Structure 1
């Protein structure tokens, strides 16, 4: 995609002491001039299935009664050539921040950089939106903007034009990111607690043609997965 892009980033099980083996980050990428059309299509799918026009799409809301809706949402993503998804699955089990002279927040920003670095357009401008997770949004935005912009030598912020916190229930493509990364997280944790979620995960795997638990080639653009593990910290 060589154009101005909206990038919608979400995160799951990212806290240091949540007893989860992975932090999963995900980003939906959509051309700015196609965003309105994508929002309209998702709204049409809600209405088709008898849901409110602004029903919030979330992995954790998948249920037997709504599984057909979520299957349609997954199919829509794979059928729309304007949408791409990238995810980083970062292992937390053997993290040793002291060894690398970093904090958990430092590591988090490094992983966010890995998520975003290959989807910032050149030429073109990026408008990056993060789901609001806590009260530290302002600090997170400033630090992440600095890390990403400096890494691509965008010191005057001409490539990364915007990076802001938004409420996911107002942003349909951020909700789509939540759905897809939820499936990736579910697969990597080896869960099988919900038949409805399993059906949606199976559809994701079928359409992507992969298991969602291994890194894809870097050149893969539609559904790109990078599985990261700590270096030198394993027993």
Structure 2
């Protein structure tokens, strides 16, 4: 029986010349039949902790730590999976490869997604809408993926407030970006990072094994 999986994708400091050293792309995945359960459980945690609005890495503070602590515990206790890729932007050289940054963006999303797309399953892919160009990027990425894959049922942009799992992707990806940049000013964020690393058994600034399914992290080698 064919299974369907949903991917909820997000990106961080992905603009070519935004002054940030790293570009990150990530997603949270779940089987379609588990989606409603995960959304309901995370919303219940929000109610329990009187948390209003979207989960965001930038929102983590001392007062919100108990909520985010439980969200991280929930992620590691369930079938949810996370994958992220990291690109050192100091090594970008689009001219050498005859490409634009938008072309590069599609290629990196291809690298992010295709390692977890298998022919026996179907996939719905949702990307966080960032700006007016997001719809164009989604169409371009869909065309790019469809050259090799015919089991992608949906690829569309949505707003992050519509998806608890896209918000969770932002939190996990934010933790990676925060530590990569050597930031440590917010104790609550440091504690969340330590919790993630205890579950992973390694620093979140190190790549994982290719077959790591729960928390998969890959650093792109631009040559």
What does residue 34 of structure 2 align with?
A: 34
Q: What is the aligned length?
A: 222
1:56-102 C-alpha deviation (Å, 9 max, x unpaired)? 1110110110011101101100000x210000011101211101111
What does residue 60 of structure 1 align with?
A: 58
Divergent runs of 4+, >4 A: none
What CA distance in whole angstroms lies between the structure 1 residues aligned with 2:184 and 2:97? 35
What does residue 161 of structure 1 align with?
A: 153
* TM-score, reference length from structure 1: 0.91
* TM-score, reference length from structure 2: 0.96
Q: Which stretch shifts more, 137-146 or 57-66?
A: 137-146
Deviation at 1:37? 0.2
Contact 1:59–1:182 under 8 Å retained in 2 = yes
Q: How does 1:167-206 map to 2 (within 5 A)?
A: 167-206=159-198
What CA distance in whole angstroms lies between the structure 2 residues aligned with 1:193 and 1:105? 33
Q: Tell me the SS of whatever aligns to 2:10.
A: strand
Q: How does 1:3-42 map to 2 (within 5 A)?
A: 3-42=3-42
Return the match for 2:220 from 214, 225, 228. 228
Gaps of 5+ in 1: none
What does residue 112 of structure 2 align with?
A: 115
Gaps of 5+ in 2: none
What CA distance in whole angstroms lies between the structure 2 residues aligned with 1:212 and 1:122? 30
Contact 1:29–1:119 under 8 Å retained in 2 = no
What CA distance in whole angstroms lies between the structure 2 residues aligned with 1:35 and 1:121? 19
